[in-house]
Amino acid sequence: MFFAYMFVDVMSPLQSLIETQRGWSPDAFGYYAGAEYILNVFGFLILAGIILDKMGVRFTGTLSASIMVVGACIKLYAISDWFQGTALDHWLSSWWVSMPGSAKLAAFGFLIFGCGCEMAGITVSKAIAKWFNGKEMAFAMGAEMAIARIGVFAIFSISPRLADWMGKDDPTVVVPVAFCTALLCIGLICFIIFTFIDRAFDKQLDAAKLPDAPAEEEFKLSDVKNIFSSKLFWIVAMLCVLYYSAIFPFQRYAANMLQCNLGIDATTASDIFRWFPIGAAALTPLLGIYLDVKGKGATMLIVSAVLMIMCHCTFALLLPAFPSKALAFSAIIVLGISFSLVPAALWPSVPKIMDERFLGSAYSLIFWVQNIGLCLFPILIGKVLTASNPGVDNPMEYNYTNPMLLFASLGVLALFFGIWLKVLDSKKHYGLEKPNIVSNTEEKVFESEGETFE
């Protein structure tokens, strides 16, 4: 997941370079950024959850890592000099002329990669839920997400420098993308090693089962209908899509936004923004420990929404009026704190409200709703950015006020759903405010919309 997160944002600090070097417009960059989620939105992620519940963690994880490598190779070829001027380039450029052929093929590769990346995300979540059931689950998920977030820090640190590696007079986007593609191949090897460890763990679980223990109920396709009919599922899913749509699409444009507001180069902007994931990485495991021991998951989500609103309003209104690196840095650190609350509180709460037999499908359906927002919002931001800058051809002179206000509005909606979730939890006792760690003799009972899971 560390390498996957690096590949996701490898071109985010290079928006101005790819626009200048390959002729992409803000619209084209937005379509490319949104392509990662398109196929997931149209059903692949639901299928991925079913595959996970039917085939297990080992098969699904290996498949997802392999898909990521294939998509990465396609994207690398699309932006390389080998592709420029080929018959495929001419054909792709001949239709929908506002989007160059390189952008279309790169978007297709990113689409394939996105299928593998989201499938890997739900697989990792179910694997951690399996390994840390009744233990430090929130800390484990927080630690995993922290490592992944450091991948964002790493790529914002090195991507502009790798692009300049061939010489300041001839920077290229090819080198950083090729570097991250090689890392994904290493990631595939890492997961294959994990499959052997997980197989040994299954043998330990089987040996520990009591002879007269009832057989676990298998996943059924009808369980998907039960998940969709849950009001609580939709509240959690909406929280997820609003939070992540205000973060991941923002990461695509953050470096260029800082360039425009502060008048700095891409490397300096990336050096400022790279500290955003570090704040999340440092705090997420600590918040996970707090959630394991003390609880208060729903409260964390509300605090996160408030901080998110404050930060995006700062980028929209204060930073253009008072261009200051210190102000930008402070807002980015606070946004990282906001984002650290989400994985620490949201993902460990799902096993509390969903039966283990369809936990993979529950995660996949939440990710599916999330992907709808992640697919549409980069495209929407690209269009809003274009509409807000009529006649502006220099990517260093964009006005980002309206796109940042749009991100802030997502925080307002997330705040509403967070308050709603906390009210429901206080009435129906889902256990979202309770700690995750329980003793072996303690029985967990969660009431859910007239149905009790024990």
Look at residue 220 in the predicted model and tell me its pLDDT: 59
Measured in degrees and rounded to the nearest 5, phi and psi for residue 447 equal -85, 130
Nearest to 341 by CA among 291, 293, 395, 407: 291
Which residue carries 């919002």 as its tokens? 377
Please, are residues 398 and 19 in contact by the beta-carbon 8 Å criterion? no
- Asked if residue 180 has pLDDT above 90, the reply is yes
Distance in angstroms (rounded) separating the CA atoms of residues 445 and 429: 9
Q: In DSSP terms, which residues pair with 448 in a beta bridge?
A: 451
Q: pLDDT at residue 402 above 90?
A: yes
pLDDT class of 452 with cuts at 50, 70, 90: very low
Query: What confidence tier does 166 reach under pLDDT thresholds 50, 70, 90?
Result: low
Residue/partner pairs of 422-431 with CB below 8 Å, 24 or more apart = 422/298, 422/299, 422/301, 422/302, 424/232, 424/235, 425/298, 430/232, 430/352, 430/353, 431/352
The pLDDT score that the predictor gives to residue 163 is 83
Q: Picking from 131-135, 298-302, 355-359, 449-453, which range would have the lowest pLDDT averaged per residue?
A: 449-453
pTM for the full predicted model: 0.67
Mean pLDDT of 311-329: 92
What radius of gyration, in Å, describes the C-alpha atoms of the chain? 22
Q: What is the pLDDT of residue 116?
A: 92
Question: Looking at per-residue confidence, does 50 or 257 come out higher?
Answer: 257
Rounded distance between C-alpha atoms, residue 114 and residue 253, angstroms: 19
292-310 residue pLDDT tens: 787 777 888 888 889 999 9
Kindly report each contact of residues 428-433 with a partner whose C-beta sits within 8 Å and lies 24 or more positions away, as own/partner: 430/232, 430/352, 430/353, 431/352, 432/295, 432/297, 432/298, 432/349, 432/352, 432/353, 433/295, 433/296, 433/297, 433/298, 433/299
CATH for 2-205+218-441, options being 3.40.50.620, 3.30.1380.10, 1.20.1250.20, 3.20.20.150: 1.20.1250.20
Task: Look over the chain and give the mean of its residue pLDDT values, rounded to a whole number.
Answer: 81
Q: What is d(CA 71, CA 77) in angstroms, rounded to the nearest whole number?
A: 10
Write down the pLDDT at residue 162: 86
Compute the average pLDDT of residues 344-370: 74
Q: What is the mean pLDDT of residues 4-9?
A: 90
Which of 131-140, 178-187, 194-203, 268-277 ranks highest by mean pLDDT? 178-187
pLDDT for residue 442 is more than 70: no
What residue spans define the domains of the chain?
Answer: 2-205+218-441
Separation in Å, CA 63 to CA 37, 77, 113: 18, 22, 12
pLDDT digits (tens, 9 = 90+) for 215-235: 444 555 566 677 777 788 888
Give pLDDT tens digits for 55-77: 888 999 999 999 999 999 999 99
Taking Cα atoms as reference points, which of 72, 269, 267 lies closest to residue 171? Answer: 267
Cβ-based burial of 54 (10 A; exposed 0-12, middle 13-18, buried ≥19): middle
Residue 347 has pLDDT above 90, yes or no: no
- Weakest-pLDDT range from 18-27, 142-151, 166-175, 402-411: 166-175
Asked if 68 and 375 count as a contact pair (C-beta separation under 8 A), the reply is no
CB 329 within 8 A of CB 272: yes
pLDDT digits (tens, 9 = 90+) for 414-437: 999 989 988 888 887 777 777 766
